[in-house]
Amino acid sequence: MKYGPTHLEIFLTRLAFFFCSRSVYKAFADRLPLTGGEKVLDFGCGMGTVAYYAAKRLHRGHLTCLDISERWLDACRRTLRKYGNVDYLLAGSPALAKEIYDVVYCHFVLHDITDDELERVIPALAGALRPGGVLAFREPLCDTDKVSLIKDLAERSGLFTRDNRITDIPMMGNALECLYIKK
Ligand SMILES: C[S@@+](CC[C@H](N)C(=O)[O-])C[C@H]1O[C@@H](n2cnc3c(N)ncnc32)[C@H](O)[C@@H]1O
């Protein structure tokens, strides 16, 4: 069964992508530590807003777009149809990817996940990284308890902070961007 967004939600997201893609999504993709040959996981890819720019940077690498919603994944396939270096995975946990990545990123995904679910998801994100690999995320700052839980779970999962910054995102407000390294 297909569940997830309505056609209207997908349409509105496409509209936002059309008007704000460079200042919102490209800006985040450009800050990912990529040299072009990495294996990367986009956890909660949605319609592929960030993936569109990340895949462009992976000339010799590969991107896996994972989402729990088949509808979002279908929309992502359409956004990225011109790329040959992408595969798609319908799953609710990074553990299901069964691969090890150089970089895993989440863009506006973790704040929507329940605290109980985060206790499983964050260690699984850390487990999907090779030693020295990077977890990057950007999440809205409005729910400070959620942000603290995410950071706490990342540290408890063997990840070390490399960078933290607050960005003011057009139409979305303040967000926290973090880079963590797996030792
Ligand atoms: C707000 S959207 C963000 C989509 C995209 N990253 C972006 O910034 O445009 C959140 C996405 O995370 C997905 N998602 C939520 N919980 C998930 C889970 N446990 N596993 C995989 N994807 C999940 C949703 O289906 C949705 O596509």
Q: Is the CB of 69 under 6 A from ligand 1?
A: yes
Q: Is the CB of 72 under 6 A from ligand 1?
A: yes
CA–centroid distance, residue 158 to ligand 1 (Å): 24
pLDDT tens track for 30-42: 999 999 999 999 9
Q: What pTM did the predictor assign?
A: 0.95
CA-closest residue to ligand 1 atom 26: 46
> Cα dist. 169→21, 74, 147, 149 in Å?
11, 26, 17, 22
Mutation choice for ligand 1 from 23, 109, 143, CB with most ligand atoms inside 8 A: 109
Residues of the chain scoring pLDDT < 70: 1-3
Residue 172 pLDDT: 83
Q: Is the CB of 107 under 6 A from ligand 1?
A: yes
**Would you call 144 exposed, middle or buried from its count of C-beta atoms within 10 A (0-12, 13-18, 19+)?**
exposed
**Would you call 1 exposed, middle or buried from its count of C-beta atoms within 10 A (0-12, 13-18, 19+)?**
exposed
Q: Is the CB of 48 under 6 A from ligand 1?
A: no
CA–centroid distance, residue 82 to ligand 1 (Å): 22
Beta-ladder partners of 105: 42, 136
Query: Which amino acid, 105?
Result: Y
> Cα dist. 89→25, 94, 134 in Å?
21, 10, 20
For the domain spanning 7-182, the CATH number is 3.40.50.150
CA–centroid distance, residue 72 to ligand 1 (Å): 8
Cβ partners under 8 Å of residue 69, min gap 6: 2, 3, 4, 5
